[in-house]
Structures are given as C-alpha cells and as structure tokens.
C-alpha cells in the first residue's frame, strides 16, 4: 500500500466558512471534485467552482429539518472503503459508491450555545450527528482519507496544499486523524457534562491549546499547560511563563479576587508574604512590601488597581519574577520593562471555572471552588467582649488571606495590612510562633492586631500566646467540641473572638 495518496474527491460540509475559500481554490486548481450540502455547496459555487450535491449522490433530500443529510451508505462507504482491500473495492464498484479522499467538516457550536444561555431545545439541536460521524469515519480510515475536523486545521491543511499540492503522506493523514479525535472527544465531553450537570457521575475534562513549558516543577520533569491563557492575560513583556510561575499566578489571582478595594499582594511559593489595602496603588504597594521585604525578592506581584508611574518607580526597586495588574500607565510600563526577563501581565475579565480538580493516586479529586467570602453578618461573636468595627474589618481582611494560605495557617493583621503569617506548618502553635517572629523581625507592633486561623482552637494555647503579644481579636471557624476552652480564656483576658462556621483549609 502506497503511503502517498492523491486527493481526487472532497466532501465539504462546514459551519464555519471563514478561511475556506483559499483551500477550495487550491483544491480546484489541483483537479479535485467537490461534494457538498446546502449552504456549503452554495459557498463553493459562489466561488465559481462546480460542486455536486450530496442529495444527488444519495437520491435522498435533506430531511427532518436538516438532521439527516449525509448519513447514507453512499457517503460513508466512500469514506470508509479500504483502497488496498479488494473486497471493499468490489463492493463500492457494485453499489456505485465514489471514493471520497478528503473530508472537510466542522461541528455545530454546542459549547457556545450552552454558554449563551439558550433554552434546552436550541441546545439539543446543536448536538451534531452527521458531522461527528463523518469525522470519526474519515479519521478511522486515515490510511486512505484526510480529515479536516475544525476551522483550527484549515491553516495547516492550506500550508500542506501549498507545499506539495493535493497529495498527502501517511504521516500527515495520521496527524490530521489525531487532531480529529481531539475535536470529537472534546465535543462529546462537553455534551456529557451538560447532561450530567452537577451530578458528577463521571469525570470528563477536556482542554485544548497545549502549551509546552520549559519544564515542570523541577528541571528533570516535563511540563505542559492546557487552556487558553490568552483569554485571561496579555503578556506584554518578559520571558516565557514557567510551571512554577503558573502556580504562583493562580494563587495570586485567587487571592486578589477576594478584595474589592485597592489592594496589592506579594506572593512567594503560593502564599502571601505581603498584602495591604489602601486608597492608592502606591500606598498599597509600600505597605504590602513592608510585610516581608525579604521574601518579596523573586516573588509574584498582583494588584487590582492600575499601576502608575509613581508606583512603578517604587516597585522597580526590587527584583521580582511576575507582575499582574488590570492595566498600566504608559510611563509605568517603560519603567517596569527595563528588566528583560520580567514577566508583565495585563489581566482580562475572564471567568474562572467553578470546579477544581487534581490527579492523585490512581484517580482524580474534584471539588467546588471555595467562593465563600465572609461578611460582617456572617460572624458570630463567641465571647462576652464584642469586637470593634475596626477589629471586624481587620478580621475579615485577615480571614481572606488565611483562606488563601497553606494550612496550617495563622495570619496576623492590623489596619488592613498583613503583618505576618505562619503557613504550611504541622502545628498551629508553630504557625503562630512563626508569624509572631516574622512580625517582630520587621518591626511590627502586635498590640491591637487581630489573628485569623484556618481551623478552630481545640485548646487555648494559640489564643494565650497571641494575647500575650497584644492581639485583641480572633477569627476562627469554630466547631470544635473544646471551643469553650478558648472562649473562656478570651473572656478572662478581654479578647474578642468570632466564629464563621466555615473552614478554609488549603493544601
């Protein structure tokens, strides 16, 4: 069997026609005959090229409101017949079935229709039957047939035609078949997930747009990202984004989305090492950096405000890997862009998925994204002493940070500024001691500060340590059968404690 095949007949039936004209023109120049349906046939004929109707081949019209057009042995026989198998060739000759060497087809926009909020009957009509069947048939028979399964393959197919005309190698046909099965599997996953809704009866996740990273978490590991980063960010400067950069960027986005007022955060290894909310980006930056100017070295910076020249001049004084903002003034970009490898990202208003998953052992864990952001009315005062308005504001501020810190986590804050945190510790006492030591090292006075914990206090030890350092209010989830011990200690020593009823563990 020869690996090189010449295209003589093409079946073309597409929803998206942009970019198709050059392909049709080149195929016509190569002597390829066309077979098509409805609007695609009219499109080909509008270019001035003859095109045979599928209805003339099958002797059946398009029926059932267009649901059945190409589903016929004379179409699928022409695609699936094995040219090197004598029995197949005898049968297509007997039944007057033409060989079809190229199939160009795409699918109804099911995902876009669901995303538009259309009603169910409209969505159901966007489940493609003929198209998906043509794709699978042509891809299965890649030994003899070329399949172009989506508009994304128009360009590589056009390049192939321009390079060596209407002939294809086995390697090229197999590549297009692989791409076709990627299209069909993604499509079927989207349909299943629509029908499955919130049941989670099976795990089906499909992501396109593979991006090969320099390496994974370590240089000896391969790494890839699947998804559309361009929908979330415009990278306007710097080196290629790495695997570890992406982990930090994800953590930074999750954290900054907790805040509505102007806020600046500095992250290192997925945890905030500095964060402050202030009237201006410059003030927020200065106070965020003050939280831990040592850890900020080589970190990831993010703000929800526009970075101006004054802020950029201060930010530019330290070394950092990535900066993310919704926008930058022109003169600010000139300053920040002075470092060649510095990654500068403009964040776009893209929606994030509501589900999170990770692979482990021989399966996958799936959960809802933690979207709960506590408000004053969600807090339950557990002590005789009620917190002041300022303490409530600071506790809610600290709670947002602890929610996005690795457990076990403790956050100390005052005046909507992160003073210090203890993260990723096996003991909550160790987390608190780490936070206190850091705060003192950077000259913070903990008198009047608040403490946030990502879990309850079954013993009053942490409350006692924090109280001795001047902490006046504590926020914690509550729920321990020994909570009363901590409440009693706070009552005895004039510390206000509130509970939220919601834990924010983060591993």
Does residue 68 sit in helix, strand or coil? strand
The candidate with the shortest Cα–Cα distance to 94, out of 79, 69, 70, 77, is 77
Q: Please list, residue by residue across 97-135, b when 16 or more beta carbons sit within 10 angstroms of its beta carbon and e when fewer do.
A: bbebbbbbbbbbebbebbeeeeeeeebeebbbebbbbbb
Residue 459 or residue 25, greater confidence:
25
Rounded-to-integer distance, Cα 450 and Cα 396, Å: 10
| Run of H or E residues at 265 | strand 263-268
**Average pLDDT of the residues in 53-81:** 84
pLDDT at 68 exceeding the cut of 80: no
Show the CA angle centred on residue 94, arms to residues 93 and 100, nearest 5°.
Answer: 35
Q: Which of 8, 126, 140, 237 is catalytic?
A: 140
pLDDT in tens, 85-110: 999 999 999 989 999 999 999 999 99
Rounded-to-integer distance, Cα 7 and Cα 33, Å: 9
Show the CA angle centred on residue 492, arms to residues 486 and 498, nearest 5°.
Answer: 45
**Average pLDDT of the residues in 123-129:** 93
To the query of whether residue 317 is one of the catalytic residues in this protein, the response is: no
Rounded-to-integer distance, Cα 23 and Cα 15, Å: 15
pLDDT at 207 exceeding the cut of 80: yes
pLDDT in tens, 138-192: 999 999 999 999 999 999 999 999 999 999 999 999 999 999 999 999 999 999 9
pLDDT at 1 exceeding the cut of 50: no
**Average pLDDT of the residues in 463-492:** 91
Q: Across the chain, what does the average pLDDT equal?
A: 93
Residue 59 confidence (pLDDT): 80
pLDDT in tens, 371-384: 999 999 999 999 99
CA dihedral 42, 48, 54, 55 (to 10 degrees): 70
**Average pLDDT of the residues in 115-127:** 93
Residues in the chain: 507
Residue 156 confidence (pLDDT): 95
pLDDT at 364 exceeding the cut of 70: yes
Residue 479 confidence (pLDDT): 81
pLDDT in tens, 399-458: 999 999 999 999 999 999 999 999 999 999 999 999 999 999 999 999 999 999 998 887
Residue 2 confidence (pLDDT): 53
Q: With bands split at pLDDT 50, 70 and 90, how would you rate the model's confidence at 480?
A: confident
**Average pLDDT of the residues in 224-235:** 94
Rounded-to-integer distance, Cα 179 and Cα 391, Å: 57
Q: With bands split at pLDDT 50, 70 and 90, how would you rate the model's confidence at 307?
A: very high
Classify strands 299-303 and 271-277 as parallel, antiparallel or unpaired.
unpaired
Q: What are residue 234's DSSP bridge partners?
A: 346
Rounded-to-integer distance, Cα 10 and Cα 6, Å: 11
CB 13 within 8 A of CB 131: yes
- Residue-range domains of the chain with CATH: 2-194 (3.40.50.1380), 224-345 (3.40.140.20), 374-497 (3.40.140.20)
To the query of whether residue 17 is one of the catalytic residues in this protein, the response is: no
Q: Which of 17, 211, 269, 440 is catalytic?
A: 269
């Amino acid at each position: 069997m020869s690996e090189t095949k010449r295209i003589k007949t093409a079946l073309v039936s597409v929803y998206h026609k942009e970019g198709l004209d050059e392909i049709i023109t080149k195929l016509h120049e190569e002597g390829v005959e066309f077979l098509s349906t409805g609007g695609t046939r009219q499109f080909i004929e509008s270019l001035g090229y003859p095109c045979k109707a599928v209805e003339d081949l099958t002797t059946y019209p398009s029926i059932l409101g267009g649901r059945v057009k190409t589903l016929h042995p004379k179409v699928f026989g022409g695609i699936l017949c094995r040219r090197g198998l004598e029995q197949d060739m005898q049968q297509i000759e007997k039944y007057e079935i033409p060989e079809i060497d190229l199939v160009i087809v795409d699918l109804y926009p099911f995902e876009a229709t669901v995303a538009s909020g259309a009603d169910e009957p409209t969505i159901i009509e966007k489940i493609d039957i003929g198209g998906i069947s043509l794709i699978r048939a042509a891809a299965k028979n890649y030994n003899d047939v070329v399949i172009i399964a989506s508009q994304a393959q128009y360009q590589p197919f056009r390049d192939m035609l321009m390079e060596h005309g209407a002939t294809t190698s086995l390697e090229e046909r197999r590549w297009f078949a692989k791409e076709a099965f990627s299209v069909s599997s993604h499509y079927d996953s989207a349909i299943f997930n629509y029908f499955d809704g919130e049941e989670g009866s099976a795990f089906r996740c499909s992501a396109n747009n593979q991006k090969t990273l320099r390496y994974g978490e370590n240089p000896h590991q391969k790494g890839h990202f699947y998804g559309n980063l361009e929908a979330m960010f415009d990278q306007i400067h710097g080196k290629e984004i790495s695997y570890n950069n992406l982990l930090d960027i994800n953590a930074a986005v999750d954290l900054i989305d907790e805040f509505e007022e102007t806020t600046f955060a500095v992250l290192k290894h997925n945890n905030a090492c500095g964060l402050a909310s202030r009237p201006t980006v410059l003030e927020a930056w200065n106070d965020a950096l003050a939280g831990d100017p040592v850890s900020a070295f080589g970190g990831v910076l993010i703000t929800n405000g526009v970075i101006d020249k004054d802020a950029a001049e201060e930010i530019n004084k330290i070394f950092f890997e990535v900066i993310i903002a919704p926008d930058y003034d022109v003169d600010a970009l000139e300053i920040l862009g002075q470092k060649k490898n510095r990654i500068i990202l403009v964040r776009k208003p893209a929606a994030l998925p509501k589900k999170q998953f990770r692979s482990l052992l021989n399966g996958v864990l799936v959960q809802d994204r933690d979207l709960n952001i506590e408000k004053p009315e969600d807090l339950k005062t557990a002590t005789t002493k009620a917190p002041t308005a300022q303490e409530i504001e600071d506790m809610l501020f600290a709670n947002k940070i602890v929610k996005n810190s690795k457990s076990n986590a403790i956050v100390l804050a005052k005046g909507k500024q992160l003073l210090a945190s203890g993260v990723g510790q096996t003991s909550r006492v160790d987390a608190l001691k780490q936070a206190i030591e850091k705060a003192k090292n950077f000259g913070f006075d903990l008198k009047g500060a608040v403490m946030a914990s990502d879990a309850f206090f079954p013993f009053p030890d942490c409350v006692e340590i924090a109280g001795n350092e001047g902490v006046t209010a504590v926020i914690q989830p509550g729920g321990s059968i020994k909570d009363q011990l901590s409440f009693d200690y706070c009552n005895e020593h004039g510390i206000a404690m509130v509970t939220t009823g919601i834990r924010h563990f983060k591993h």
